[in-house]
Amino acid sequence: MSDRQAAHPYERLTPDLILDAVESTGLRCDGRLLPLNSFENRVYQVGVEDSSPVVAKFYRPERWSDQQILEEHAFALELVQAEIPVVAPIAHEGCTLHEHRSFRFALFPKQRGRAPDLETQDTIVWMGRFLGRIHAVGAVRPFIHRRGLDVASFGEQPSAFLLESGFIPPDLAEAYRTLVQHLLERLHSAFDLGFRRIRLHGDCHAGNVLWDDGPYFVDLDDSCMGPAVQDLWMLLSGEREERERQLGWLLDGYFEFHEFDLRELRLIEPLRTLRMIHYAGWLGRRWDDPAFPAAFPWFNTQRYWQDHILALREQAAALDEPPLSLSR
């Protein structure tokens, strides 16, 4: 194995290895292999003889422990058992997590669908109903092994990594440092107000929902313990008045199946700020993966960091605004 392969294990993930891994679960592949859009993991649609294709997800090495992955799988299966449209892993001989030549992977049924139309009231209310049902299940018991959504994990650690690793240009480093320090203090204050933590999808945006006569939720890879509003705010878009209207529709559906603490609305902008800080840190941590420079060529340029600092300054102003209110 070359040094480059050792540094980037996904380079060993050849088509033959992928097909062999899938066949190790007892399926017989027909040779068709289609890469799907994913960077954190590697995901492929794999053709199966005399059956529908499956989706094979190869987990990024060393990101999650086996216990964390299995806890994600168990949550997905628990939701399916409650007749909630979540795409859950396929079990083989009672196991959902498999290993082949040092790669851990899981298989999922192929789910057809398109992006949901989040401009219409009916769609948003429908999404709210299913999110209420997901959270009703998620509130039954906690995750034991998966991480929680907190300021340390999503704000302090990624920003410290960026500063220590030298990604930020020297002439912008101090501006970034002081700005992020100020933001983190404010985020701690927001989170210190307290909220109920439940099991969440964790990354519930339109790209993780397939619409086919209703929503199907996919990719629980970022499922975590956190406030319910984390699974709601990324579905809102537009100007404040429009977001408030969408929020009202979303909660109209949500309240049919689960309670929601309206005080969590004050966490929307803090959560958005954390996501922005975490995203930049995520790109930095993955920069040694050859797929990232090719897919995100604008990252790690002077212009990127200037724009990122400007966006964080705008977020500092957004934190001063009153939380969204319900509009119907």
Active site residues: 203, 219
- CA separation, residue 244 to residues 216, 227, 231, 239, 325 (Å): 24, 19, 16, 9, 6
- Chain-centroid distance of CA 95 in Å reads 24
Task: Name the residue with tokens 């005080």.
Answer: 263
